[in-house]
Amino acid sequence: MTDSTPGTAPARPGEITGATPVHRLAAALTELEPLLGAVTEPLRVAPPPGLAPGARSAFQATVDALTAELRVPRLALAASDDELWSVELAISKHLSRALGAMPPEAVLDGGPEAAGRAVDVARAAPPGRPVALRSHDGAPLRGYQAGAPDLPAVVVVPAVGMPIGLAAPWLRALAGVRHVVTWESRGMFASTDAPGLPVMNRHDLAAQAADVVAVLDGFGIEEAHVMGLCGGAAIALAAAAASPRVASLSLWHGDYELGGDAAKTPHQRDVQNLLAMASRSPRNALGLHRMMRRPQALDALRADIAHHLLHPYASAALMHRYGQLNGEIMTTDCRPLLEQVRQPTLVVSSHQDTTAHPEGSVHVAEHLPCATLRMMPHGNHLTAFDAAPALVRVLTDFTRAPAVPARHAREGA
């Protein structure tokens, strides 16, 4: 398990540890559970490197036992990776990384009982099992928590549409010193009590911000520090404007719509156009999903977290809903919120972020009345999710005493 002391590096997303191959495979499949539960078509995986032809059926039986224990659809072992599409390739590579240099044949010992024990071990570490929650409009949410309930509370508002695995390093890093809770975006994940995607009645920014309060209610938390990552920063801002239960804020590499007051990166403009097309109709989303099925889609993604980053594109239904949810985030003007939020706020970015333009963070920090800006000397957009020791210290120092120091600060200044 990862040491959760502030300043101690957590396991990176996609990094699987464990004493035996069966535990590594169980942990990897547990991390894939949100994706496997949301995609309705049958999925295949490539055999791991080094798997002897005579061990294929036994390896398949082990994978079957683990997926049955997780209550997710079966993964059929393909002959090779030649005909797999992007999500299947990402899953295959994740499982191979988890097994590492260990001989895959070693996974085959123990049967269903060993599979159940291995899944229990994987579930015991943060983020743990999903907790069934209900939002203000009845939308089912999958919540997660780590750390003792009597510790100061932190709500992690994740990037829209991304599975829990992307935010899990923050849960692991903070669990020893904070009661940290989070959830997965409405409508993008199978509910805990029914197969398939649930009905999504609303997708506007106000509805997504109200989910923050629903998570507080679901875990019995009166007030908390709210930490927004990427598009989750806009949700955190809207939640703070709507509820005094948000005691303080931190906004990490935020993706904001600020009209002509701040520049956007080419990536932001491209994704905004893509989401606009996907949100218009399921037919449009189907055409875009077909493009994302190409193996080349993996080329632009960080390899260790590609299985998370592909989640919103893994089916036409997911892509349509992602267009609706994240499209609202990327087009709703955040400038009125800057006039309403009075809570102490930490704004974090880096000039190395080419995904969400750092000028957006600068503008937000300058126009919030109780904000300080922390421009880190290193780190791109995705490293904000890794919960590296320097970032954990920045957060814990601020939440320990969320005062407002100098308006603009640089790491080490």
pLDDT for 229: 98
Please check whether residues 141 and 81 belong to one and the same domain.
no
The pair phi, psi for residue 302, each rounded to 5°, is -65, 125
Q: Is the pLDDT of residue 37 over 60?
A: yes
Please check whether residues 216 and 70 belong to one and the same domain.
no
How many domains in the chain?
Answer: 2
CA–CA separation, 325 and 33 (whole Å): 21
Please check whether residues 155 and 278 belong to one and the same domain.
yes
Please check whether residues 150 and 34 belong to one and the same domain.
no
Q: Is the pLDDT of residue 109 over 70?
A: no
Please check whether residues 220 and 81 belong to one and the same domain.
no
> Which of 8-12, 146-150, 296-300 shows the lowest per-residue confidence on average (mean pLDDT)?
8-12
Please check whether residues 258 and 285 belong to one and the same domain.
yes
Asked if residue 6 belongs to a domain, the reply is no
Asked if residue 238 belongs to a domain, the reply is yes
CA–CA separation, 206 and 235 (whole Å): 8
**Quick one: which H or E segment has residue 82?**
none
pLDDT for 115: 87
Please check whether residues 80 and 143 belong to one and the same domain.
no
Asked if residue 157 belongs to a domain, the reply is yes
Burial class (CB in 10 A: 0-12, 13-18, 19+), 378: exposed
**Which regions of 185-287 does DSSP assign to beta strands (E)?**
224-229, 246-252
Find the mean pLDDT for residues 319-333.
97
Asked if residue 10 belongs to a domain, the reply is no
To which residue do tokens 């598009």 refer? 231
Picking from 96, 124, 152, the residue at the C-terminal end of a domain is 124
Picking from 124, 146, 162, the residue at the C-terminal end of a domain is 124
Please check whether residues 164 and 85 belong to one and the same domain.
no
Cα atoms in the Cβ-side hemisphere of radius 13 Å centred on 81:
17
Find the mean pLDDT for residues 258-286.
95
Instruction: For residue 380, give its domain range.
Output: 131-410
Please check whether residues 109 and 140 belong to one and the same domain.
no
Find the mean pLDDT for residues 324-347.
97
Mean pLDDT of the chain: 90
Please check whether residues 109 and 180 belong to one and the same domain.
no
Q: Is the pLDDT of residue 17 over 60?
A: no
Cα atoms in the Cβ-side hemisphere of radius 13 Å centred on 277:
12
**What would the pLDDT profile of 78-87 be if each residue is shown by its tens digit?**
988 889 999 9
Residues whose CB falls within 8 Å of the CB of residue 201, separated by 6 or more in sequence, listed in order = 137, 138, 139
Please check whether residues 113 and 261 belong to one and the same domain.
no
Q: Is the pLDDT of residue 196 over 70?
A: yes
Asked if residue 7 belongs to a domain, the reply is no
In this structure, the number of other CB atoms found within 10 A of the CB of residue 407 comes to 10
In this structure, the number of other CB atoms found within 10 A of the CB of residue 389 comes to 14
Asked if residue 9 belongs to a domain, the reply is no
Asked if residue 191 belongs to a domain, the reply is yes
Q: Are 169 and 385 in contact (CB under 8 A)?
A: yes
Any idea what the CATH number is for the domain that residue 253 is in? 3.40.50.1820
CA–CA separation, 380 and 251 (whole Å): 15
Please check whether residues 169 and 103 belong to one and the same domain.
no
Asked if residue 296 belongs to a domain, the reply is yes
Picking from 97, 124, 151, the residue at the C-terminal end of a domain is 124
Find the mean pLDDT for residues 209-235.
98
Q: Is the pLDDT of residue 133 over 80?
A: yes
